[in-house]
Chains A and B, each alone.
Chain A
Amino acid sequence: MPLLPAGRRHRVAFILNGVAVEADCEPRALLSDVLRHSLAATGTHVGCEHGVCGACTVQIDGVPARACLTLAVQVEGAALRTVEGLGTPDRLSILQQCFREEHGLQCGFCTPGILMSLDALLRENPSPSEQDLKENLSGHLCRCTGYAPILRAARRAAERLKDAEHA
């Protein structure tokens, strides 16, 4: 029965974008803060810190989840994926490339979370309906784009991912 006392330093180990990592934190540390402050993975953004805005969405064992509603100690042993795991500036993922082509972002604050949600959705459901996409995006606030370019980017990515699979 591991009891981690308040105010002490505890080691948490998990997989981040395919790499085994460790971080020291208090029990009260949010996953979002440990990613950013301890592991310098600042691609995950922090907006509202109560699960509403979606900016901090990451994938925990393959499914999208709010890093601000997750304690770092809860992900001991889990496999995490953040926006840093999608692509690199000179080698964007198909989804990221489609966001660029369709102007699916302006300020970019909400983008990492949206990318992690859509990446998981398109893996699970390669042919999402308009309704599927809108319901998925309802978990994210974007105050720049009005969402229409994001939907176009998602549709384009779905098509291109299917082409890539057939090729």
Chain B
Amino acid sequence: MKPAAFDYLRAATQEEALEALARAGGEARILAGGQSLLPMLNMRLARPRVLVDIMRIPGLDGVAVEKGSLRIGAAARQAALLARPGLAAEQPLLAEAMPWIGHAQTRSRGTLCGSIAHADPSAELPLLLLALEGEVALRSRRRARRVAAQDFFTGLMSTAREEDEMIEAIHIPLAHPGEGHAFAEIGRRHGDFAIIACAARVREGAVRLAVGGVADRPVARAMPGLDSPELDAALEALGWELEARDDLHASAAYRRAMLRRLGRAVIARAAAEVR
């Protein structure tokens, strides 16, 4: 339960961090808040040769509204975003769901971008980024690019990030006027990883449901409306499509059953907001 040896680089600028990533050829990892990476290091599930600490790079922790989106920098901590005045107006789904992320004692150091990079299928932030149709801004020495959440999460803890790229920010669109939102989660205790988590958005009769904790990555789908007789069948079909798995915490059948219930519940709450 102790990390294997690594070089530690305290980057002073983003250029230094990108240079280190390019040089290490896939054997470097970015260290931000460390709340996902340190458990991986302690359990030796990750054994990078170099850790690049980006938390002392000036300006990387910025959170700002930019072209209709919240731009959240790589070093922005979860607790800092939760404490942002006006978050509930800017993006109510984020404000509602963020207290479910870990515990106060991990949100204090954990970053949003770090959780996105880690891409745990049960984590709330990848689910929220997908539900809200956000984007990931990646940068390497070669190029800068933006990837839609839909294309970013490619499998179990796997993403579209190339080995020499770092996430420099995520972009989350501001709430659309007239849109309803809801989030719900089932876990063993508050702050644990989700057995299943659901987020719904409803606007002008269109329903978008995102589900985490069931498949190997968060998944979002258009769903029939609350009053549609098709909704139950669609939720049931989604549970099978996501290949819900049995594990220590819950059976696949339980996950499908909870998807039917929780899915309907969040869609109902989101729809009630716009009535």
- Chain B residue nearest to A50 (CB atoms) is B39
Contact residues of B between 71 and 112, Cβ < 8 Å to A: 79, 99, 102-106, 108-109
Which residues on B sit within 8 Å (CB–CB) of A60?
108-109
Closest CB in chain B relative to A124 CB, distance in Å: 10
Which residues on A sit within 8 Å (CB–CB) of B42?
30, 49-50, 68-69
Q: Which of B5, B9, B41, B191 contacts A138 (CB 8 A)?
A: B191
| A153 to B37 alpha-carbon distance, docked (Å) | 34
Interface of A is mostly: mixed
User: Is B6 within 8 A of A65, CB to CB?
Assistant: no
User: Is B39 within 8 A of A69, CB to CB?
Assistant: yes
Q: Does A2 contact B (CB under 8 A)?
A: yes
Which residues on B sit within 8 Å (CB–CB) of A7?
5
What is the count of residue pairs linking A and B with beta-carbon distances less than 8 angstroms?
A: 116
Closest CB in chain A relative to B148 CB, distance in Å: 30
Q: Please report A residues at the B interface, Cβ cutoff 8 Å.
A: 1-7, 26-28, 30, 33, 49-51, 54, 57, 60, 63-66, 68-71, 73-74, 76, 117, 121, 134-136, 138-140
Given contacts A74-B55, A117-B104, 10 further A-B contacts (CB under 8 A): A4-B7, A27-B5, A28-B4, A63-B79, A65-B109, A70-B34, A71-B31, A74-B34, A134-B190, A139-B191
Q: Does B67 contact A (CB under 8 A)?
A: no
Q: Please report B residues at the A interface, Cβ cutoff 8 Å.
A: 1-12, 16, 31, 34-35, 38-39, 41-43, 49, 51, 53, 55, 79, 99, 102-106, 108-109, 189-191
User: Is B79 within 8 A of A1, CB to CB?
Assistant: no
| A136 to B189 alpha-carbon distance, docked (Å) | 12
Closest CB in chain B relative to A49 CB, distance in Å: 4
Which residues on B sit within 8 Å (CB–CB) of A57?
105
User: Is A139 within 8 A of B5, CB to CB?
Assistant: no
User: Is A50 within 8 A of B104, CB to CB?
Assistant: no
24 residue pairs of the A-B complex, CB under 8 angstroms, read: A1-B9, A1-B11, A2-B9, A6-B6, A27-B7, A27-B8, A27-B51, A28-B2, A28-B4, A28-B41, A30-B42, A49-B42, A50-B39, A51-B106, A68-B38, A68-B42, A69-B35, A76-B10, A135-B104, A138-B103, A139-B104, A139-B105, A139-B106, A140-B105
| A70 to B31 alpha-carbon distance, docked (Å) | 10
User: Is B109 within 8 A of A28, CB to CB?
Assistant: no
User: Is B10 within 8 A of A65, CB to CB?
Assistant: no
User: Is A69 within 8 A of B103, CB to CB?
Assistant: no
Contacts A6-B7, A63-B79 given; does A70 touch B38 at CB 8 Å: yes
- Chain A residue nearest to B40 (CB atoms) is A50
Closest CB in chain A relative to B182 CB, distance in Å: 19
| A50 to B192 alpha-carbon distance, docked (Å) | 13
Contacts A1-B11, A138-B191 given; does A117 touch B105 at CB 8 Å: yes
Which residues on A sit within 8 Å (CB–CB) of B51?
27, 71
Q: Which of B8, B38, B53, B103 contacts A139 (CB 8 A)?
A: B103
| A71 to B35 alpha-carbon distance, docked (Å) | 11
Interface centre among B3, B5, B8 (most CB of A within 10 A): B8
User: Is A138 within 8 A of B39, CB to CB?
Assistant: no
- Chain A residue nearest to B35 (CB atoms) is A69
| A136 to B16 alpha-carbon distance, docked (Å) | 38
Which residues on A sit within 8 Å (CB–CB) of B189?
138
User: Is B5 within 8 A of A26, CB to CB?
Assistant: yes
